[in-house]
């Protein structure tokens, strides 16, 4: 029961992250871009660190290296396919996207994304509470810049602010459903599969989405700051692992 409460709490918090977009309305574009740039840099590092140092490393306890790596590659590849066919996108640094006419498809794609996030959170908490907290931090940390971008896209696509917030929240709440499904039906085999699978998915997001956003900054000084936050994200995940293992 304790594990279920953690899963429900974290997935609900993940759902509430959808409201972060409303706070950006009062910010100047220049200020918002600076905040997003730092968030993206730190998230990229934390996502890579969480993927390799926590999820993939933990999977080696239940799977042989070859099996874990094949599932890792499967997760990476499937996220690529889903992004291509469901138009998953993460509008970070500039809040602009090329799919303004696909607002409802964006919500549908994010709903599936969040459901999988819920499954991953459930698998991590069932494995170990500390791993669950680390995984949740990585997922929620990535959701913040993503939700800001998604909110901007929905507004740009013609949705009213209140409707955009409501629909985005409903889409985000599929994480709670994923968490419940994961808790009820998760077994050792599925849990062992979900850890390297999620690691591959996180690696895809960091490598194909977040890091390319950082490369769009032409100024060396800002790129250096971004790299510093990127390294900070990796070191943070390393520190968490060291503390968790005494």
- Phi and psi dihedrals of 217, rounded to 5? -80, 115
Q: CA torsion sign, 154 to 159 to 160 to 163? A: negative
Q: How far is CA 80 from CA 207, 225, 230, in A?
A: 11, 29, 22
pLDDT in tens, 8-58: 999 999 888 888 877 777 777 778 778 878 888 888 898 899 899 988 998
Share of the chain above pLDDT 90, in %: 27
Please give the structure tokens belonging to residue 9: 């709490």
Is 88 in contact with 149 (CB distance < 8 Å)? no
Flag whether pLDDT at 161 surpasses 80: no
Tens digits of per-residue pLDDT, 197-243? 989 988 988 888 788 888 888 888 888 999 999 999 999 889 888 87
What are the sequence ranges of the domains in the chain? 2-16+29-241
- pTM (two decimals): 0.73
pLDDT of residue 69: 97
Within 157-219, where are the H helices? Answer: 161-172, 174-185, 188-205, 211-215
pLDDT tens by residue, 78-135 = 888 877 775 545 444 444 544 444 466 667 767 877 888 899 999 999 988 989 998 8
Question: DSSP H helical segments within 87-187, as ranges?
Answer: 103-127, 129-156, 161-172, 174-185
- CB–CB of 7/121 below 8 Å? yes
Q: What is the pLDDT of residue 152?
A: 66
Mean pLDDT of the chain: 82
């Amino acid at each position: 029961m304790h594990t279920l409460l953690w899963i429900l709490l974290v997935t609900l918090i993940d759902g509430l992250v959808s409201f972060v977009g409303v706070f950006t309305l009062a910010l100047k574009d220049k200020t918002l871009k600076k905040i997003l740039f730092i968030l993206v840099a730190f998230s990229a590092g934390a996502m890579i660190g969480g993927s390799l140092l926590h999820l993939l490393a933990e999977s080696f306890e239940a799977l042989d290296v070859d099996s874990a790596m094949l599932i890792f590659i499967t997760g990476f590849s499937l996220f690529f396919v889903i992004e291509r066919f469901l138009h998953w996108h993460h509008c970070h640094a500039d809040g602009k996207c090329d799919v303004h006419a696909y607002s409802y498809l964006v919500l549908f794609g994010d709903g599936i994304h969040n459901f999988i996030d819920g499954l991953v959170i459930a698998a991590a908490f069932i494995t170990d509470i500390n791993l669950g907290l680390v995984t949740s931090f990585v997922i929620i940390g990535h959701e913040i810049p993503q939700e800001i971008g998604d909110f901007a896209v929905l507004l740009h696509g013609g949705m009213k602010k209140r409707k955009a917030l409501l629909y985005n929240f409903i889409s985000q709440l599929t994480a709670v459903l994923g968490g419940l499904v994961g808790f009820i039906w998760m077994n050792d085999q599925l849990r062992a599969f979900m850890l390297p699978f999620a690691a591959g998915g996180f690696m895809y997001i960091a490598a194909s989405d977040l890091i390319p956003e950082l490369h769009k900054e032409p100024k060396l000084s800002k790129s250096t700051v971004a790299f510093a936050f990127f390294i900070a994200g990796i070191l943070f995940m390393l520190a968490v692992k060291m503390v968790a293992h005494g």
